[in-house]
Amino acid sequence: MSDRPSPCGFASPLCIGIAYLGCCIGAGYLSGQELVQFFLSKGPVGFLALAIATVCIFVAGAVILSLAVDSGEHRMDRIVVFFDCKPLRLLVAAFEIVFLFMVYTLCVAAFGSLISQLTGLWQICGSVAFCALSTLLALFGVRGLLRFFSYVMPVLVCVTALIALLALVTSKSLSFPKIAVGGLMTGIWVLDAVTYAVFTLFCALPVLVPLGANVRNAKTACHGALVGALLIGGLAAMIMLAIATAPEVACVAMPMLALGDQLHVVAGGVYAALLVCGIFSAGLSSQAAISEYLLQRYGAEKRVLLPVMIGISAVACCLGLLGFEELIGVLYPVFGYVGILPLILLFVHAFLFYRRRKGVKNKD
């Protein structure tokens, strides 16, 4: 195992942890909606479920990063499917494309819900506007815009934490009424916690695997995974406690936005503007990744790619009409269940790799 310096500066556990946080939080997380459905809806026991999810996120993240560092394999399909099976590797790659499409669809629905909550317009108006603009930008160059949006996310995280702290400081009590949620949630808090962790890890997998190339050693990787898991779980706990100060906001599409409005009109306005940028950044990143994949894998020209991307946007817009809350209740569990198989393969790879390496060391 080499002790090489990181070429991209991602050697410290803090940098790794921030990168982990950045690829795991999105519109559902920062709006509070996914945390309401997976954890807060279960009452106080939801915090125990969050703790279990955080432990799973740490353990799996440490395994993924350590394996990427020690094995030297930094391609997602090959680190998951470690044996030579091209159809299965293609299936994993296809699943990632479908996953990116799902993230894009959630952003379409989130943007529609946000515009509706802010202006009173029909949700379809915001969804159509989002799809039209993001499709054009995804096709004709978005690197500079995405770089701008990348600076918005840290600010949004800080503002979210600040609003949560203000709510906790100014509140006299906390209330944890059990909230009925639909979709494919099991209602079994342990299973929902694991499902949430698997979904979160699959969000992070395309980032964590190549990130291993910029990590000094497995020990640093494990420390970085711990920092990331604590950041993800800690911020989630703050958001849940903040919503518990005004449990009525849990019933709206964007609970944290409603909470900001309750605290002060300026807080609500600032948070709304940042949330618009955050949702647009996540959706545009996903759509641009799909576009880039089609260009690289199939050599599709832009004149051919345009109708394909328009079709993808149209389908996402139609699915977005189902509603932001409803999509979280369906898509998160589905991808959480399906994502268990790639993670099992990855853990098997790690077990075999480290057992083989231990055997070689014992022979020496």
Tens of pLDDT, residue by residue over 6-40, are 444 455 888 888 888 877 777 788 888 889 888 98
Count CA atoms closer than 13 A to 135's CA, side-chain side.
22
**Worst-scoring range by mean pLDDT, 9-18, 283-292, 293-302, 308-317?**
293-302
Distance CA 241, CA 85 (A): 46
Long-range contacts of 116-123 (CB under 8 A, 24+ apart): 116/253, 117/252, 117/253, 117/254, 117/257, 117/258, 118/272, 123/320, 123/321, 123/323
Question: What pLDDT, on the 0 to 100 scale, is given for residue 147?
Answer: 61
CB distance 186 to 337 below 8 Å: no
Confidence of residue 157 (pLDDT cuts 50, 70, 90): confident
Distance CA 331, CA 106 (A): 9
| Percentage of the chain lying above the pLDDT 70 cut | 87
Question: What pLDDT, on the 0 to 100 scale, is given for residue 182?
Answer: 64
Question: What pLDDT, on the 0 to 100 scale, is given for residue 6?
Answer: 42
Mean pLDDT of 68-81: 81
Question: What pLDDT, on the 0 to 100 scale, is given for residue 56?
Answer: 94
Distance CA 316, CA 98 (A): 11
CB distance 58 to 204 below 8 Å: no
pTM for the model: 0.82
Mean pLDDT of 148-174: 82
Confidence of residue 300 (pLDDT cuts 50, 70, 90): low
pLDDT digits (tens, 9 = 90+) for 237-274: 999 999 999 888 888 888 888 898 888 888 888 888 88
